[in-house]
């Protein structure tokens, strides 16, 4: 993994779950939780040096907030990535489920946890250090990369 201390970090409100997952796949630390209220989002932004991403006009008035007007994911990604100069960083990908750091894991360590086809067609696997989810470059990987290329992020 790359050093991410100087990279922008985000906290997304409850209406931006898909955007949060895709920012994590781009390689950006993005906190998200349906349970976070406006005050908690503002506190996280302040104490953890995060930019607020919100569809709430009132919350968008807080310092460091970006109002995300559009409903569609591609428009949201264009806005946030354009405003913050974000590009895909394969070495910094985070867990799309929980935002944890990913660490390389040996193929034999995950043989009981991944589908047989994934085991046969991949030599590289990653495990989330926070939630334990296993990742590999499956058939969905090409679709992810295609979206990043279409948006000029890769």
Segment 135-144, tens digit of pLDDT: 999 888 999 9
Largest Cα separation within the chain, whole Å, is: 51
Q: Which helix (H) or strand (E) segment is 125 a member of?
A: strand 125-128
Do 34 and 65 share a structural domain? yes
Do 128 and 88 share a structural domain? no
What average pLDDT does the segment 103-131 reach? 94
DSSP assignment string, 19-88: HHHHHHHHT--EEE-TT--HHHHHHHHHHTT-EEEES-TTGGGSTTEEE---SSHHHHHHHHHHHHT---
What average pLDDT does the segment 7-34 reach? 96
Tell whether 78 is covered by a domain: yes
Segment 49-73, tens digit of pLDDT: 999 999 999 999 998 899 999 999 9
Residue 63, domain extent: 10-92
Annotate 76-117 with three-state secondary structure. Answer: HHHHHHHHHCCCCCHHHCECCCCCCEEEEECHHHHCCCCCHH
What average pLDDT does the segment 124-134 reach? 97
Do 88 and 18 share a structural domain? yes
Q: How many domains, the chain?
A: 2
* Whole-number Å distance between alpha carbons of 103 and 132: 10
């Amino acid at each position: 993994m790359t050093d991410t201390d100087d990279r922008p970090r985000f906290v997304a409100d409850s209406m931006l779950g898909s955007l949060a997952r895709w920012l994590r796949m781009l390689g950006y630390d993005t906190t998200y939780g349906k349970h976070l209220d406006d005050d908690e989002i503002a506190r996280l932004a302040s104490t953890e040096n995060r930019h607020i991403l919100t569809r709430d006009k009132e919350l968008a008035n807080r310092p460091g907030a970006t109002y995300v007007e559009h409903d569609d994911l591609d428009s949201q990604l264009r806005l946030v990535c354009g405003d913050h100069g974000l590009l895909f960083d394969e070495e910094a990908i985070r867990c799309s489920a929980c935002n944890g750091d990913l660490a390389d894991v040996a193929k034999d360590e995950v043989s009981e946890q991944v589908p047989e086809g994934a085991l046969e067609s991949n030599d590289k696997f990653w495990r989330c250090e926070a939630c334990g989810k296993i990742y590999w470059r499956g058939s969905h990987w090409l679709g992810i990369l295609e979206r990043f290329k279409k948006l000029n992020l890769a």
